[in-house]
Amino acid sequence: MSTLVIKDLHVEIEGKEILKGVNLTINTSEIHAIMGPNGTGKSTLASAIMGHPKYEVTQGTIELDGEDVLAMEVDERARAGLFLAMQYPSEISGVTNADFMRSAMNARREEGNEVSLMKFIRELDSKMETLAMDQDMAQRYLNEGFSGGEKKRNEILQMMMIKPTFAVLDEIDSGLDIDALKVVSEGINQMKGENFGCLIITHYQRLLNYITPDHVHVMMQGRVVKSGGPELAHKLEAEGYDWIKTELGIEDETVGQEA
């Protein structure tokens, strides 16, 4: 079993503090969902875990099985087992999706032990089928000219090919129609198992109709303010966030306001 432990995480972007002490522990075989209104720091948490160049961690720790994640470069974090499905993936012209994915898979293998082309193609074909993606997307340039939905599927495809220990999915459901949501959820559910842990960041309970989380957390003002089981998501869907605000005495849930 692997464990990702986030302790008292404070993060700034351009001098402004967004995360103000996040605590979270995720084990493999667990699915966690982070919910919360806009502007409460959810995506900042995702970016800080992966090491986005614009986000500066000013306090706290992230450890993966006791290893200091914050001391690692972005590529080292990935090779250690972390994955982030990004909200706005970059477009890279001239690099085909397939070549990129093979490079990513080989990056975590020893030289001389690269994945064979045949095996790679077989696996890619089967995962693309699961995600109902056109086969020609493998030969298109990475994310270039992809629609919003195609980009999201492509992020999940990468996750399925790379098979990380922990995946953070940053609003993977936004902009997806119900059919796309179902296939993306199917992809995520296929990953479930004792060697995989997942942190799903979402505005909407909708995604959680297809993926049942073990733990649900609510973020406000740059902190996790409430945690619970799947029933918490249902309550949020039915009643909104106001009851939490009342319970905790929060007037404005966005970052920058103090309780």
Partner 1 sequence: MTVETKLTMTEQDVRSFSASHSEPEAFTNLRVQALAAAEALPLPKPDKTKIINWNFTDFPAHTVESSTYASLDELPEQVKSLVDLEQKNLYIQHNNTPAFVSLDEGLKAQGVILTDIQTAIREHADLVAKYFMTEAVKAEEHKLTAFHAALLNGGVFLYVPKNVVIEKPVQAVFLHDNEEASLFNHALIVADKSSSVTYVENYISTVPKAKGLANIVSEVFAEDNASVTYGAVDVLAEGFTTYVNRRGVAQRDARIEWALGMMNDSDTISDNTTFLLGDNSVGDTKTVVVGRGAQKQNFTTQVIHWGKNSDGQILKHGVMKDSASSIFNGIGKIEHGATKANAEQESRVLMLSPKARGDANPILLIDEDDVTAGHAASVGRVDPLQLYYLMSRGITKQEAERLVIHGFLAPVVNVLPIEGVKKQLTEVIERKVR
Q: Establish if 162 lies at the interface with partner 1 (CB under 8 A).
A: yes
CB of residue 104 vs partner 1: minimum separation in angstroms? 4
Q: Establish if 13 lies at the interface with partner 1 (CB under 8 A).
A: no
C-alpha R_g of the chain: 18
Q: Establish if 79 lies at the interface with partner 1 (CB under 8 A).
A: yes
Q: Establish if 124 lies at the interface with partner 1 (CB under 8 A).
A: no
Residue of 21, 37, 89, 228 interacting with partner 1 (CB under 8 A): 89
Query: In sequence order, what are the beta bridge partners of 96?
Result: 141
Contact 6, 23 (CB under 8 A): yes
Q: Of the ranges 51-59, 189-197, 205-213, 216-224, which one interacts with partner 1 (CB under 8 A)?
A: 51-59
Q: Which residues contact 4 (CB under 8 A, 6 or more apart)?
A: 24, 25, 26, 27, 49, 62, 63, 64, 69, 82, 166, 197
Q: Of the ranges 1-9, 15-23, 86-94, 225-233, which one interacts with partner 1 (CB under 8 A)?
A: 86-94
Contact 187, 156 (CB under 8 A): yes
Residue of 73, 110, 111, 177 interacting with partner 1 (CB under 8 A): 73
Task: Select 83 or 241, whichever has its Cβ closest to partner 1.
Answer: 83
Task: Give the whole-angstrom CA distance, residue 5 versus residue 159.
Answer: 21
Residue 127 main-chain phi, psi, to 5 deg: -70, -35
Task: Select 93 or 116, whichever has its Cβ closest to partner 1.
Answer: 93
Task: Select 170 or 173, whichever has its Cβ closest to partner 1.
Answer: 170
Using CB under 8 A as the binding rule, the residues of this chain from 199 to 258 that contact partner 1 are none
Q: Establish if 72 lies at the interface with partner 1 (CB under 8 A).
A: no
Residue of 83, 146, 166, 241 interacting with partner 1 (CB under 8 A): 83
CB of residue 158 vs partner 1: minimum separation in angstroms? 6
Task: Select 45 or 224, whichever has its Cβ closest to partner 1.
Answer: 45
Q: How many CB atoms are closer than 10 A to CB 34?
A: 27
Residue of 58, 67, 71, 74 interacting with partner 1 (CB under 8 A): 74
Q: Which residues contact 135 (CB under 8 A, 6 or more apart)?
A: 125, 128
Q: Establish if 183 lies at the interface with partner 1 (CB under 8 A).
A: no
Residue of 37, 65, 100, 114 interacting with partner 1 (CB under 8 A): 100
Secondary element (H or E) of residue 69: none
Task: Give the whole-angstrom CA distance, residue 72 versus residue 5.
Answer: 15
Output the CA angle 82-199-151, nearest 5 degrees. Answer: 75
Residue of 92, 240, 242, 257 interacting with partner 1 (CB under 8 A): 92
Q: Establish if 93 lies at the interface with partner 1 (CB under 8 A).
A: yes
Q: With CB under 8 A as the rule, give the number of residues binding partner 1.
A: 29
Task: Give the whole-angstrom CA distance, residue 33 versus residue 54.
Answer: 24
